[in-house]
Amino acid sequence: MAMTIPPLDWDWWTRAAEYQGELIMPRGALGRLLELGRQLCAAQRTLACRAEPAAVLVLAADHGIAAEGVSAYPQEVTAQMVVNYLQGTAAVNVLARRLGMRVVVADLGMKTPVSAHHPDYVPDLAVARGTANFLHGPAMTPAEVAAALAAGRRIVAERLSDVRVLALGEMGIGNTTSAAALAAALTGQPAEAVTGRGTGLDDAGYRHKLHVVTQAVQRHGLSPATPPLSVLAAVGGLEIAGLVGAAIEAAARQMLVVLDGFISSVAGLLAVRLEPALAGYLVAGHRSREPGHAVVLEALKLRPLLELDMSLGEGSGAVLAVHLIQSAADVMTRMATFDAAGVSRRLDSAPRRERADQIRSD
């Protein structure tokens, strides 16, 4: 596994920005696509940046807290959905297929293992058969947290090392409750600000979930001062810990890491708390309807690319956003420059041929 995360290279960021000024359009006219292009160049240290191959990693695990009735769906849905990811018929598959993205699925700790042979399924890194109910004790032991982090890193190192852009998804009935407790702890926000209806709780279910999150944060004495790994052990999930490891390994390999919704963004926030240089590699794919997501994106100082009122998870929003990153790479590498295309510059501009040549000869 790669050892450290290299900081984004601001020299390449600047070169990319200068080169973008030579492309045949008014300066800055492609807005956030140009930001993504600079981020790719600064991550990859080249103007010839690439956003392919791209892939989505979906980590699945179960949550002891589901016993508190915090989800609208029964716990067996975690494994049932994994079967669908492997059959290629879930939303994430359909969205990824259009973009030529692999969907790699791993069992980080489902209650019921799924026995399936599939080239993109990792069945053998499950750390436990679900977390413990964090109202009664820590969700995970420190050893389980370490094992899940290592599993996430290993999957990226062994299965996804060719990837340039990695979207992070998850499946785990009950995991918005875990994510809400993590977000409350990491940001210091009250449970009300970070707790939502998940897959569709009714009012009574929502009030109960709110109570569970409040209780969990109090019982474990969590605050922004608590070390991130302790927060993760107290109220986290095996798939969330795995995503933290995956994000760290991906950034260490200079991949852009695309966050999906609330849960994968909480994993992103934990990863940045552990490895601050990782922040430069993150992209917020979308803003989900889950209210805690905005709080976490704010803490990450990330503005989401898409706002489509989605709240599915499984990487779906992150995958959709990968198209924008691929398009950003195309803009950097396939568009003509003013000089090459013979297009007149602004009426108030001086010729810049010399500067353009200089940039291209790097």
Which amino acids are annotated catalytic?
Answer: 314
DSSP letter at 276 equals G
Sign of dihedral through CA atoms 54, 60, 65, 66? positive
Distance in Å, CB of 307 to a second copy, minimum: 7
DSSP letter at 134 equals T
For a second copy, the closer CB: 98 or 136? 98
Smallest Cα–Cα separation from 256: which of 27, 74, 40? 40
Distance in Å, CB of 169 to a second copy, minimum: 13
Residue 252, token pair as written in the block = 């260490």
For a second copy, the closer CB: 18 or 330? 330
Smallest Cα–Cα separation from 234: which of 272, 304, 158, 181? 181
Residue 194, token pair as written in the block = 């970070």
Cβ–Cβ < 8 Å for 240, 263: yes
For a second copy, the closer CB: 146 or 335? 335
For a second copy, the closer CB: 91 or 255? 91
Cβ–Cβ < 8 Å for 249, 156: yes
For a second copy, the closer CB: 239 or 314? 314
Tell me which residues touch a second copy (CB under 8 A). Answer: 23-33, 72-74, 76-77, 80-81, 83-84, 87, 89-91, 94-95, 97-98, 199-200, 202, 289, 305-312, 316, 320, 323-324, 326-327, 330-331, 334-336, 340-348
Q: Any alpha helices (H) in 188-290, and if so which ranges?
A: 191-194, 203-219, 228-235, 238-252, 262-274
Q: With b meaning 16 or more CB within 10 Å and e meaning fewer, what string describes 234-248?
A: bbbbbbbbbbbbbbb
* H/E element, 121: strand 121-122
For a second copy, the closer CB: 79 or 185? 79
Residue 347, token pair as written in the block = 């009426």
3-class secondary-structure state, position 14: helix
Distance in Å, CB of 87 to a second copy, minimum: 7
